[in-house]
Structure 1
């Protein structure tokens, strides 16, 4: 019997991650799989990397936010676009504690890996096998895109993250496709479902016959404590983080709002100073 906790899309939410790990520990999981998007835009920095380093993580793939962090660190983002300045300012916050070498090391993980349990082959990715960003695998995605998870190469079960929603569906050949949801930033289109923003993860249990159980978990955590931590750490774009945790609304691509906040809160000036001192 093997019990695996599947973690995805932490997005720097320190308090939510700690609550999930406490829940997983109470259920006596044997190992962890990590599907990416570890840091940004939440409070976590070195502390989250150290917490994850202490876990028995046996499989890990590269998230798109790890790549965005790397691009920001190496000045490969357009400094004139508000959404990319937002990422650059988040990078500045991360690099107060995390070195460039540590950010570079996060790029070493593959986009897709496979694990074997008896006759079952399980494929793991953050999004598509060859592309860890985009909207192809949202709940309304085309069947042929989902089929790529189980045919490229072939596997019996595919597990992916990225969309911030717990999901179970099937490939055209009957293969099982699962998403554990997001620890740090659950997302729902439905306003009624959006009232429940508990941290999400998933436990898979394998025995000698195969996949015995799929347990979609939702864990309460102290949202106000996380928001207070954000204030104490002077987290950039606090208003955006507040909206995501309290209302389930994400403004990552809202150019006008991000520009307005950057001007009002002085993030543009902070970023320009940082960029000019690190040329």
Structure 2
């Protein structure tokens, strides 16, 4: 049997549709989704509808990512703290305001980790970050990663969160990361996922990278005015979609450093836009990308 494993869609319904069409055309009927369904990109309702429609026709397993925790915590805290026209939180606020009660209820019932056994094949653990924490990154050459692999009974851990396709093997166990459907790093503008092949009691992996209409995604961002809601965050997003050689996290870390160096303190999301501008310039992000 074959299973499509998809993670970190981040609202990229264009890329998601491409991945799903590829999987279905290869007679795949089982799908694992590893969290972070919405965020950063335009029309999150289109992503959610694709997922709802797919789950009516195919066997789908969904788990919670850190983004889902963001939406739920923001609702629980009384929808306070995030700001529009703010590079740190504007995209979060845009996405949250686009989500429906149905979406939030769907996120509410998701578990952060599942152990799955299908057709008497070896057990698989699916999670977003790690089996212990949705925001933890399982990285190669890291003793924490090895410790986690040793702590589980399943031979395979499927995780996302890093947005990088990779396999980490240790003894008879491995971690497989399908990369990101929506905003993959180091993908040369391609969308990414994973097909898990099961035969004769053995799982084997096939990493998939596909070309898709990146320009449409960027046009959508302009159409809904994401560059006004989250100016530099959206600029970085566009650069990642086209180039893939930087990350929001790297830029954000530098932004916080610059803010602390000059002001002595920096509290997210109250970060002046000038520090975003400086960090973007330092990282040689294309000047021809226009914010507005």
Equivalent in 62, 69, 72 of residue 70 of structure 1? 72
The question of whether the paired residues in 1 share the 8 Å contact of 2:139 and 2:145 is answered with no
Q: Distance in 1 between matches of 2:177 and 2:22?
A: 18
Q: Distance in 1 between matches of 2:2 and 2:135?
A: 28
Q: Distance in 2 between matches of 1:197 and 1:42?
A: 15
Q: Deviations over 1:204-249 (max 9, x none)?
A: 12134322x4110001011111101111122232323212212322
Q: Distance in 2 between matches of 1:64 and 1:115?
A: 21
The question of whether the paired residues in 2 share the 8 Å contact of 1:166 and 1:181 is answered with yes
Shift in Å at residue 116 of structure 1? 1.4
Q: Within 5 Å, which residues of 2 pair with 1:53-202? A: 53-55=52-54, 56-75=58-77, 79=81, 86=87, 88-100=89-101, 102-117=103-118, 118-135=120-137, 137-142=138-143, 144-149=144-149, 151-152=151-152, 154-171=153-170, 173-188=171-186, 196-202=188-194
| 1:209 and 2:205 are equivalent in the alignment | no
Aligned residue in 1 for 2:211: 220
Shift in Å at residue 64 of structure 1? 0.6
Q: Deviations over 1:156-192 (max 9, x none)?
A: 1111111111111223x4212211111111124xxxx
Aligned residue in 2 for 1:271: none
The question of whether the paired residues in 2 share the 8 Å contact of 1:70 and 1:104 is answered with no
Q: Distance in 2 between matches of 1:14 and 1:259?
A: 31
Shift in Å at residue 94 of structure 1? 2.3
Give the structure-1-normalised TM-score: 0.79
Shift in Å at residue 107 of structure 1? 2.8
Q: Distance in 1 between matches of 2:273 and 2:88?
A: 15
Aligned residue in 2 for 1:247: 243
Shift in Å at residue 125 of structure 1? 0.8
Shift in Å at residue 65 of structure 1? 1.1
Any unmatched runs of 5+ in structure 2? 260-270, 278-292
Aligned residue in 2 for 1:274: none
Aligned residue in 2 for 1:260: 273
User: What's the RMSD between the two structures over aligned residues?
Assistant: 2.9
Residues 1:22 and 1:101: Cα distance change in structure 2 (over 3 Å): closer
Q: Distance in 2 between matches of 1:73 and 1:89?
A: 16
The question of whether the paired residues in 1 share the 8 Å contact of 2:121 and 2:198 is answered with no
The question of whether the paired residues in 1 share the 8 Å contact of 2:87 and 2:273 is answered with no
Aligned residue in 1 for 2:285: none
